[in-house]
Every structure is written in structure tokens, then in C-alpha cells.
Structure 1
Amino acid sequence: MLEGAINLPPFRERWPWRGPHLQTVRNTLSRPRFRLAAGERLRFPMADGSGDVLLGLLNRPGRPVAGRPLAVLIHGLTGCETGSYMQATAVALLAAGWPVLRLNLRGAGPSRDLCRLRYHAGRTRDIREVLAQLPPALTADGVVMAGYSLGGNALLKLLGEGDLPVPVRAAASISAPIDLRRSSLAFLEPRNRLYHRWLLARMKEESLAPGPGLEPRWIDAIRRSRSVWDFDDLFVAPWNGWSGAEEYYRVNSAAGFLETIRVPTLVIHALDDPWIPGDCYRAVAWERNPSLHPLLPAGGGHVGFHAPGGVWHDRCLTAFFGRHAG
């Protein structure tokens, strides 16, 4: 068992956060606070002629450990550097002596005013450009990477594509929608009605926020969307050159890139995740790629894993990184 290999017990829920839904919404309900220094702002101009600039926030550990690579964290849909899961992982890694860069994807968080284009589930070129622009002093020992939800899908796709500009020594995905089509359809299930309404509202708010303007036809498409599928079909896919949601999902789902990953990669997903069907993970022939290390507990919700003593996936990825790159 992987739990034994990284010397960690199986996931156990922390009271009162019992069940997939409370695990999923815990951070929204409790609003945890984190002690993080202000950090150093890094800028990453994109080379596609858009003029867009991505932003990252670098924190250095108070007690650095020699030889430990830079950890790059990639947020999920409607997230950014200030997301609770991003901050929680940063705190855990910094305490263990890792420098941490929390990356804002194109148009997310503080990069909103600096970007005309937007991130999506498969925009891996942006991440590759960020890695290439990192100061050599930060990448002298390589990097490790973690991605959450949509950011996890993008990370797995990036690793499967290869052609990495710096050595990636280990990686971890948490609650990634590796089958984008099935994940989008899952939001239409009755049990996900409240999640769906909440997420779609945040997606619209993010896309229509002040900043470089959209053409009226795209604004209209966003406003007409009545589901996540509609949003991707009417806006995300055609705006990025695909015929619709079906093609966008097919081209960018990480499931199609798993077999070609050659970086030691921890894949964490709760089989009770209300957003992403566990069957997407059960269908993968994990044994065909020894670089992949699936960790699929029965519980944990979506980017939840709130356990006695802290966030379980943070302990898992910290141990995994230490084993492969520490």
C-alpha cells in the first residue's frame, strides 16, 4: 500500500466534517486562517503576443533544507493564490523546508487586470512558460509540483505531454477531473444542484469581472449559460478555438495523457467526491505506468481530506515529495 510506502495511515474523517459534502464545504464554512509572510511577487510575461502577464507569489522557508526543490502549486477553477487549499499546502511545505510558489493561472486572482485571455483545463503552455522563466537559482535543484481540481488536470496533462523546461522531480494531483466530460455531467445530477448553482455563478463572476474587456458576443454567451456544460460549450470552447464542449473535453482531459507521464506522480482522489465520479479513476489501468502512484480513499470529498491533525493530502504530498525529491 502507498500509505505504508510514505509512512502515513489511511484517511480518516475529522469530526464534525463527516461525509463527502461536509468534507467538500468545510473550508467555505469555517474560513481557516493561515500565517504566511507577504512573499515575493514574480511576474511571467506570456510569449503569445497577447501582452498577458501571469503572477506568482513566492514564499521561502524560515529554515530551508539544502537540496529541496521549489514547490509550484496550481489552483483550481475560480481559484487563485489565496485559496485555502493553496495556503494550507504552502504552510505545510514551508514548515518542512521547501520554498513555495503559488501560481495564478492566466486571468485568475491578481493577474485578472493583466490578462486579456483566460485559463482553462488544458492550457499547459502557460505553465510550461512559467517554468522556463523561473530564476535559475530557484530551479537549481529542480521543482516539484502540485495541482488541485482543474489545476490538477492541467498538471497531469503537462506531465504527459513532456518537454519540460526544468527537471520536475515529483508531482501530485488532488481531486483532478481527469474526465472533463463526465465531471461536467456530474454537476447536472440532483445531488449537485446547490454546488452547480454556486460554481456557475462564480465562473460567470470571474469571467465578467473588471479587466480587459470581452467582445459583446462572448459576454452574451456567458450570461446565457445555464449550466457548466453551457458555459464550456458556448464560451470556453469556441473562444479557444474548439467546436464545442465535447471537443474541449476530449482534447484536454488528463485521462488521455496518464500513460506517458514519466515523473513520479502521486494521484489523490476521494471515491466519494460529489463533483468528480470515482469511476473515472477506477477505469484507469494504473499498473501500466509505474510512475503513477494512485491514492484513492473511499472518503474525503472534493479537495477536502480534513483529518485529525490537519489536511491529509498535504501530509501525503509532503511525504511523497520528501521521498522522491527531498
Structure 2
Amino acid sequence: MSTLSTAVEARTDLLGPYLPKRFLRNGTIQTLLSRLQSADDLLVNQDEQPILFDAGADATGMEAERSVRLLGYYTGHKSPGPRRGLVMTIHGWEGCSHSSYNLVVGSALVRAGYDVVRLNLRDHGPTHGLNRGLFYVTLLEEVLAATRQVATLAADLPFYILGASLGGNFALRLALAHAAEPIPGLAALLAINPVLNPDRSSYLLDSHAWIRIYFRRRWLASLHAKQSLFPDSYDFAAVEKISSIRAMTDWMIQRYSPYPDVESYFAAYAIPPARLTELTVPITIVTAADDPIIPADDFYQLPRHPLLNIHVLASGGHVGYTDLFPLRHLLAPMVLDILDGLS
């Protein structure tokens, strides 16, 4: 029996087999360790094929005459057995298709017999020049359009979606979109440390100086790349003087989005607990009680539902789940165990 096998009505649990050594059970340490890689974690990069997806109309209004383009990377399974299905991964904010957790999990998946597509959200990875309009988390329709195209690559095999952090938020919203208009072949979704309440998480992110500095540096680099490609459309000089992520977001929203303020923007992609009563496809959520920016009690407020299974680990940080001596990423076997339990 799978070590993750639980009754579907079980809302939360603590999973001993996937806990790091005691001295590593700290949310900050776990979050930092998530960036470590080994040579085995690069398998998914071998023979990867870039795919440019036509993601439909541009909701930003910046390029009404052309379709949105999103970049993904396809890697076929690398096991001697038959294909077991296709998994599409969605990274977190300022991550990309080649983020550490994507490589770790993607390599484990192709080794276990799954094909993998690692999708880049707009303005993430090497994609700043593909679309003039800026990335907003509310641009779900373009991600949904790309997802429907990825689903066709699964043919008659199961199609799974795996999202981490902000990608987990996208996964949950894709599940709700699936309830309204089914995504072909979608068998299940996995959300790792998903953002449920971005308003609350923004305050927590800013309260941890090292996390704030890390994301601020990455976001400014992304904005500089965008401005250099489209200097006639953007001037981000003023935002460089703002120290907090929340205030930076508010500045950006008021100048370049249809939302009046940051509160309205966050509310537009928050996951109200009641919405998850609409599920029509199995969802597994994995999170950690010591995640420094995604509060565990957000998940205790979610409704019971036969298609919703929630695992709250005692430690794992924000998409960390890493052990040392030797280096061992716990997220990859967790994901495989969950998929085994679904098949």
C-alpha cells in the first residue's frame, strides 16, 4: 500500500516517511535547501523539446492583433516500461521550467515512466520577449488554453497537472475551470504549498527579510528584462525605490493593470474555501506546517470533499522537503506515491 494512501475523507495528516532529519525540521532551513540539486536531478533536461503554445487572445490588451505565446519543454519518459501518462508542471512566482523543484520532480517522473511538460508562465524563464503585456496571476485563460493543448499530447493516457507555490494556485483554479468545461483526459491535480490567500501571504513574505530580498531581486531582474525589450511600453525606475513586495505590487497594479489596487488584485486570484465544493476531479494538496509564507491554518479552513485530499507535513518549508547526509529530495517520491495511489 502506498505510504500516502489515506481515506479520501481524511482532511489532514502528518506523513512520517517524508520528514527530514530532526535538525533540518525548520521552515527557513527547508526553504533554503530546496535549491540544492544532484546530477540525477538533471535527467529531465536530456532530449527536452521546446514547444511554443498558442494561448489565445491577449487579455492584457497590449497585443489585440496576435495570440499569446507560452513556452513549455517536453521530455518523453525514460523508463524501459510503457508510458504511464503525461504530467504538466507549473512553477511558482519568479520560478521557471528549469527551477530546482521542477528538475527534481520532473526527473523522477520521466524515470518512473511519465512524459513531462514543464510550462513557463508569461514573463518567466526565457520568455519576456514573447508577449508585450506583463504577467499577472489573473491571466488564467491563457494558461488554460495552453493546458488544453498539452492535454492532447497525452493521447489516451492519463493527464495530470502538478503546480507548486503560485503554480499550485494555478492548478486549483484550473481544477475549477475544468468543472465548468472539462480539460480532455485530466485525471487528477497535485498542488504543492499552493497560495490560497495571497493578501495574507504578501505580508508574511515581506516579514521575512531574506525571502523578501530574494524575491525582490528576482522580480526587479525580470522587470529590467521586460523594460529592455519593450522600452516604449514600460518604465520601472520608480519601483526600484520601493522596498516591500506588497508595495511594489501595488505600484505595478495601479499603473499597468485593470485593478484599482493590490487588494483587488489579490482577491481576484484568491481561492475562497467554498469554491472547492465545486470540484469534479481529484485534487491532492501537500503543504508544510512550517511554511514561512503559506500558513497551514489556511488549509484547515477548506471544506470536506470526496475529491479533495490534504496532507500537512510537520516540516518541509516552502516547497523544500529536503533531507541531507545524503542529499535526498522528499518531494519527488511523495509525488510518485500520490500518482501510484491514483492509478
Tell whether the structures are fold-level matches, with TM greater than 0.5: yes
Name 2:277's counterpart in structure 1. 259
Structure 2 residue 113 is the aligned partner of structure 1 residue 106? no
Name 2:206's counterpart in structure 1. 188
- Name the aligned partner's letter for residue 81 of structure 1: S
Q: Deviations over 1:112-146 (max 9, x none)?
A: 22122233333221221112223734343241010
Secondary structure of 1:188's counterpart equals helix
- Please report the RMSD computed on the Cα atoms of aligned residues, expressed in angstroms: 2.6
The residue correspondences of 1:1-326 to structure 2 (distance < 5 A) are 3-5=3-5, 9-14=16-21, 17-28=24-35, 30-33=36-39, 34-36=41-43, 37-49=46-58, 50=63, 51=66, 52-63=68-79, 65-66=81-82, 68-134=84-150, 136-162=152-178, 163-189=181-207, 192-210=208-226, 212-213=229-230, 218-236=235-253, 239-256=256-273, 257-285=275-303, 287=304, 289-307=305-323, 310-324=328-342, 326=343
CA contact (8 A) 1:161 1:260 kept: no
Q: Deviations over 1:247-303 (max 9, x none)?
A: 111110124532222211110110110121222122223x2x111110001211010
Distance 2:160 2:91 in 1: 15
Q: Deviations over 1:92-128 (max 9, x none)?
A: 1111100000111112112222122233333221221
Structure with the bigger RCO (C-alpha within 8 Å, sep 6+) is: 2
Secondary structure of 1:155's counterpart equals helix
CA contact (8 A) 1:71 1:100 kept: yes
CA contact (8 A) 2:4 2:334 kept: no
Distance 2:222 2:205 in 1: 19
Structure 2 vs 1, CA of residues 89 and 4 (structure 1 numbering), >3 Å: closer, same or farther?
A: closer
CA contact (8 A) 1:160 1:259 kept: no
Structure 2 vs 1, CA of residues 170 and 225 (structure 1 numbering), >3 Å: closer, same or farther?
A: same
Distance 2:148 2:251 in 1: 33
**Relative to structure 2, which stretch is displaced further, 292-301 or 44-53?**
44-53
Q: Deviation of residue 15 (structure 1)?
A: 7.0
Secondary structure of 1:41's counterpart equals strand
Distance 1:299 1:237 in 2: 37
TM-score normalised according to structure 1 size? 0.88
CA contact (8 A) 1:70 1:141 kept: yes
Distance 1:263 1:94 in 2: 23
Structure 2 vs 1, CA of residues 137 and 152 (structure 1 numbering), >3 Å: closer, same or farther?
A: closer
Secondary structure of 1:120's counterpart equals coil
Seq. identity, %: 23
Q: Which runs of 5+ in 1 are unaligned?
A: none
- Name the aligned partner's letter for residue 125 of structure 1: E
Distance 2:122 2:271 in 1: 19
Distance 2:247 2:299 in 1: 25
- Name the aligned partner's letter for residue 305 of structure 1: Y
- Name the aligned partner's letter for residue 302 of structure 1: H
Name 2:11's counterpart in structure 1. none
Distance 1:292 1:26 in 2: 29
- Name the aligned partner's letter for residue 252 of structure 1: Y
CA contact (8 A) 1:267 1:293 kept: yes
Distance 2:3 2:151 in 1: 35
CA contact (8 A) 1:123 1:154 kept: no
Distance 1:136 1:218 in 2: 39
Secondary structure of 2:136's counterpart equals coil
CA contact (8 A) 1:11 1:307 kept: no
TM-score normalised according to structure 2 size? 0.84
Instruction: Kindly tell me the number of residue pairs found equivalent between the two proteins.
Output: 320
